[in-house]
Structure 1
Amino acid sequence: MNLIDKTIAFFSPKTALNRVRSRKELDIINSGYDNHGASSKKKAMQGWNVGAGSVLEDIEMNIPTLRERSRDLYMGAPLATGAIKTMRTNIVGAGLRLNSQIDADFLNMTTEEADAWETNVEREFALWADSINCDAQRMNNFYELQQLAQLSWLQSGDVFTLLPVMPRMGMPYDLRVKIIEADRVCNPYNTTVIDLDGKLVNGVEINSFGEVIAYHIADEHPNSTVLTSINNWKRIPKFGANSGRLNVIHLMESERPEQRRGVPVLAPVIESLKQIARYSEAELMAAVINGMYAVFVTTETKENGSGLSSISEDEEIDGDDDSSIEIGNGTVHFLEENEKIQESNPGRPNPNFDGFVTSICRQIGAALEIPYELLLKHFTASYSASRGALLEAWKMFKMRRDWLANDFCQPIYEEFLAEAIAKGRIYAPGFFTDPMTRKAYCGAEWNGPSQGQLDPLKEVNAAEKRVNNGFSTRSSETVAMGNGDFFKNHRLRTLEEKVRREDGLIPEESPPTETKAKVQEDEEEEVKEE
């Protein structure tokens, strides 16, 4: 009881009792999260003051800073560079390849007709995709553009792609792919992140329903110091007003509803990566300095005295800076009168460095969905543990691969297919008149690099059992094992075996002997006849 309750209890015990009972009931009401994560009474929570900002305050206004820091880490922090390149290599690799999969039943096509149509489409697509003419800048083919888009997406949080029509000599297709860096999509003339009426957010224009209707793209990078002319912004509708054609492809990962721009993948671990980079640089410098151990000689004369400078003036890098002292490998220093050295033992290299960095890398890997073994490319655990780490990482790689295939590869392929059909190079009746027919013709799979095997023999045995038990197909397992197209492999193997047999490298097969079951059937037939 506090002083007030004691005073009341002296004059009216019943009233004081009611006050105490009410206070206990109030404590019961303040239960659940109020006693845990939402508590404002616990000392551990009292200093945790956060605001409930909208997606504009929490994300959109911070994206430019996050983007700049993410790129800086990619350029200067080995761990960040490795994380992003690990994702790029496993998600895209050499590029996601087209595997046309049309709905033959809906299109009333036989299996042979569908296979012939798909083969022809893949051949036509390869004519366009394998050439640098598919790139508006004529620098990369389609598969290299996938790598560029994925890398930029991870670094900057999002990336944009335009699909201009640009005729070129020697290329029957006019569709081009133009990748736009995230910085170029911004509010005109570097105004605030959000305009006054709230309909333009970081260069993304929305209507009253929140639908994205257009993007505002600068002709040149807004922060460039070598602008060739006055920078201008163009408003490009997301879809064509008359055709409904997709004009702008926007690759991003949404974290919250009503989010318009993407967040770099390194955003949650920017601070950890920067501190690890600083720590690594400090340890490296300390180890280098410790390796340059020198001998110091004291003398009472000044003839040989040279102070603390251990190298000649010709070898000095910043001799004009009086605050820096340069040392060399295995040098001898002569000290002047009244000078002496206080020797220290820095203890480098630090034996705890590796364990500490590994511990932080585990946390960074958890945030990026990359097991630290894969993040550091250091597999020292058992086969089961290493395989478990790879399988866990592969879930994330497959998810992001599906995003890239659905949001980048498939829309571009559909635009290519529409042009090929319109020009008569591919026959597809009903493509432009019936949406269901168009969807049936546009069916496709995009196959990328395989998962890889720690023990190839075990993986092959498992694949064989999946096929024999009907859990999978030979085509699927061929792709999963990273060996291309089953039907192409089958045709090539048939030709190889035929040539080897004709050259006598394989003996002619003897006619098959009767099995016990066949012999038993014949005997039973003879008994019936008798």
Structure 2
Amino acid sequence: MSIINNAIAVISPKWALNREAAARSYQSLKGYDAAKPSRTHKGTKESRGANQAVFAAGKNLREQARWLDENHDLSIGMLDRMEERVVGANGIVIEPQPRSYDGEILDELANDIQRRFATWSLKPDVTNRYTRPELERLVLRTALRDGEVFGQMVRGKVPKFGHPNSQGTQFSVEALEPDYIPFELNDVSIRVRQGLEVNTWGQVVNYHVLLDHPADQIGFRYKTKTIPAKNMLHLGMFKRLHQLRGISMFHGILTRLSDIKDYEESERVAARIAAALAFYIKRGDPSMYIGGDDAPRHREVNFAPGMSFDDLQPGEDVGMIESNRPNTHMVDFRNGQLKACAAGTRGSYSSIARDYQGSYSSQRQELVEQDESNRIMQQWFCAGWSRPVFRNWLEMEMLNKQDPLTLPPDLDIRTLYDAVYYGPTMPWIDPAKESKAWQMMIAGNAATESDWSRARGRNPAEVKRQRKREVDYNRKNDMVTGNDPEPQNGDNPSEKVKT
């Protein structure tokens, strides 16, 4: 019983028993067993709001994640793999889809927009250091590791700044680490919460950005500038509604990753010590021990393969030091922990652990399941970064007086900003089986040739242009092969190859 019931029991035991029974009845009203604290179940709760929880731990978590990204090989590999699967080597591929009033894609305009965007992608950021794929990979890594990343869209002429791209498009992106928007900046009077100014509906209207990175500030300088929400990109890992600041992807596995690192280091050191141990010489029993100046001096024994001991003193014996290192169960334990890490990061165990020993069916199943996670991450990245960057660039490209963009008269202006966004696709384990499956789907009108090209990470229009140029060249130079889509003059391409 509780302390109060114990005290009441002294005066009225019946009253105390009734109170205890009522308390137990109240506990039973909690319909789920998980809601009842017990000796084996702590029932830990989180009653704070989303912003309170992030404010209390967000900065600490991102700093721990950064340390792991700098010092832990597995953490580095996780982030590297996410870069490869979400953004890839060529960045997010963007295919403009402007259409006419009849619904037909205007290929010439789409190709012109794509060419201009590719030129701008060579120097998209204000520092003139990164190409667009490089910048996107850095942005993704920052968002995953730190929980969020910001980007200021710089439009038009700005004092003391020139846009790095040379085609006359006055648009650049300034990527910012989350440190530039301070967690500590809160002002209830103007509705500023953790550096973000919101209205009564919870919409962010302004971002308060430090002029310098906090680590680079000298003295007590703490000045900020206000950037309107329309000029700022905010890509964050949000886990709860009404959450303003993002949380690190590692938030649920930080302890596990740290433990894995410490455990592996301990096992590695133990294995090194075990490898350095050789043998010992046993000198009789304790009764033969001689101390002081008369004790036998330490002698060196030169080791060599196949050596034998022929100079042992009377009563001496040679013993080998045995060690159970390296630990034969370490790999299994480590892999089990990595499976838990994969479950907490939308990653796949095989890619994180670099363990590809499964059968074709198991690897295929893992790829299929992982592909949906990759698509979710790609959609998140495109919606928060790639799409607004492309649309704002195109808006400024329309104002480019140096090389104006010509719009055809039959363009449906509502479709000017339409585009298809896609990142790296699911890799093929068996290309022959995959190709046959695609051919069957296209023959059954369940897919298109463009879908097939995109599944290989290629631009369908570019593939067709290259294919047509190749076929025309082969026909012109009498090099028709079995891959020609339509043999000329009744010739059988396979027979021509044989001859």
Deviations 1:64-114 (A, max 9, x none): 101111111111222211111111111001111220012x2xx526736x1
- Quick one: which amino acid aligns to residue 212 of structure 2? E
Residue in 2 that maps onto 1:242: none
- Quick one: which amino acid aligns to residue 50 of structure 1? K
Q: 2:416 & 2:342 partners in 1: Cα distance?
A: 41
Q: Describe the shift of the 1:512–1:88 C-alpha distance in structure 2 as closer, same or farther (beyond 3 A).
A: closer
1:275-290 mapped onto 2 (5 Å cutoff): 275-290=259-274
1:150-165 mapped onto 2 (5 Å cutoff): 150-165=140-155
Deviation at 1:487, TM superposition (A): 3.0
Q: Could you say which structure has the greater relative contact order, defined with CA pairs below 8 angstroms and 6 or more residues apart?
A: 2
Q: Describe the shift of the 1:285–1:52 C-alpha distance in structure 2 as closer, same or farther (beyond 3 A).
A: same
Deviations 1:347-381 (A, max 9, x none): 10001101111111111111112231222121112
- Quick one: which amino acid aligns to residue 154 of structure 1? L
Residue in 2 that maps onto 1:177: 173
Deviations 1:197-247 (A, max 9, x none): 5832321222333221111211222134xx4676343232333xxxxxx21
Match of 1:273 among 257, 260, 264: 257
Is residue 264 from structure 1 mapped to residue 248 from structure 2 by the alignment? yes
Residue in 1 that maps onto 2:421: 446
State the TM-score, normalized to the length of structure 1. Answer: 0.74
Aligned-partner SS, 2:172: coil
- Quick one: which amino acid aligns to residue 370 of structure 1? G
Q: 2:253 & 2:238 partners in 1: Cα distance?
A: 18
Q: Describe the shift of the 1:503–1:196 C-alpha distance in structure 2 as closer, same or farther (beyond 3 A).
A: closer
Aligned-partner SS, 2:45: coil
- Quick one: which amino acid aligns to residue 251 of structure 1? L
Q: 2:462 & 2:52 partners in 1: Cα distance?
A: 54
Deviations 1:262-287 (A, max 9, x none): 00101100000000100000001111
Residue in 2 that maps onto 1:238: 228
Residue in 2 that maps onto 1:82: 77
Aligned-partner SS, 2:253: helix
Is residue 502 from structure 1 mapped to residue 451 from structure 2 by the alignment? no
Residue in 2 that maps onto 1:463: 438
- Quick one: which amino acid aligns to residue 36 of structure 2? S
Deviations 1:294-329 (A, max 9, x none): 45578976896599xxxxxxxxxxxxxxxxxxxxxx
Q: 2:261 & 2:386 partners in 1: Cα distance?
A: 35
- Quick one: which amino acid aligns to residue 75 of structure 1? E
Match of 2:110 among 113, 118, 126: 118
Deviation at 1:417, TM superposition (A): 0.9
Residue in 2 that maps onto 1:528: none
Q: 2:199 & 2:461 partners in 1: Cα distance?
A: 49
Q: 1:487 & 1:196 partners in 2: Cα distance?
A: 53
Match of 1:91 among 86, 95, 108: 86
Aligned-partner SS, 1:223: helix
Q: Describe the shift of the 1:232–1:193 C-alpha distance in structure 2 as closer, same or farther (beyond 3 A).
A: closer
Report percent identity of matched pairs. Answer: 20
Aligned-partner SS, 1:163: strand
- The answer to which of 459-468 and 165-174 deviates more is 165-174
Q: Describe the shift of the 1:26–1:418 C-alpha distance in structure 2 as closer, same or farther (beyond 3 A).
A: same
Q: Describe the shift of the 1:83–1:494 C-alpha distance in structure 2 as closer, same or farther (beyond 3 A).
A: same
Q: What 5-or-longer segments of structure 2 have no aligned partner?
A: 1-13, 156-161, 284-289, 301-317, 482-486, 493-499
1:121-200 mapped onto 2 (5 Å cutoff): 121-129=113-121, 131-132=122-123, 134-165=124-155, 166-168=162-164, 170-186=166-182, 192=184, 194-195=186-187, 197=189, 199-200=191-192
Residue in 1 that maps onto 2:54: 59
Q: Describe the shift of the 1:172–1:270 C-alpha distance in structure 2 as closer, same or farther (beyond 3 A).
A: same
CA contact (8 A) 1:162 1:247 kept: yes
Q: 1:406 & 1:138 partners in 2: Cα distance?
A: 24
Aligned-partner SS, 1:176: strand
- The answer to which of 48-57 and 23-32 deviates more is 23-32
CA contact (8 A) 2:279 2:319 kept: no
CA contact (8 A) 1:450 1:480 kept: yes
CA contact (8 A) 1:428 1:441 kept: no
Aligned-partner SS, 2:344: helix
Alignment RMSD (CA, Å) = 3.4
- Quick one: which amino acid aligns to residue 358 of structure 1? N
Q: Describe the shift of the 1:135–1:289 C-alpha distance in structure 2 as closer, same or farther (beyond 3 A).
A: same
1:339-358 mapped onto 2 (5 Å cutoff): 345-358=322-335
CA contact (8 A) 1:421 1:428 kept: no
Deviation at 1:510, TM superposition (A): 5.3
Deviation at 1:25, TM superposition (A): 11
Is residue 203 from structure 1 mapped to residue 195 from structure 2 by the alignment? yes
Q: Describe the shift of the 1:50–1:494 C-alpha distance in structure 2 as closer, same or farther (beyond 3 A).
A: closer
Q: 2:418 & 2:46 partners in 1: Cα distance?
A: 46
CA contact (8 A) 1:365 1:372 kept: yes
Residue in 2 that maps onto 1:374: 351
Q: 2:219 & 2:405 partners in 1: Cα distance?
A: 43
Deviations 1:437-468 (A, max 9, x none): 66521111123222101111111111111111
Is residue 477 from structure 1 mapped to residue 465 from structure 2 by the alignment? no
Q: 1:415 & 1:161 partners in 2: Cα distance?
A: 13
Aligned-partner SS, 2:127: coil
Q: 1:410 & 1:275 partners in 2: Cα distance?
A: 39
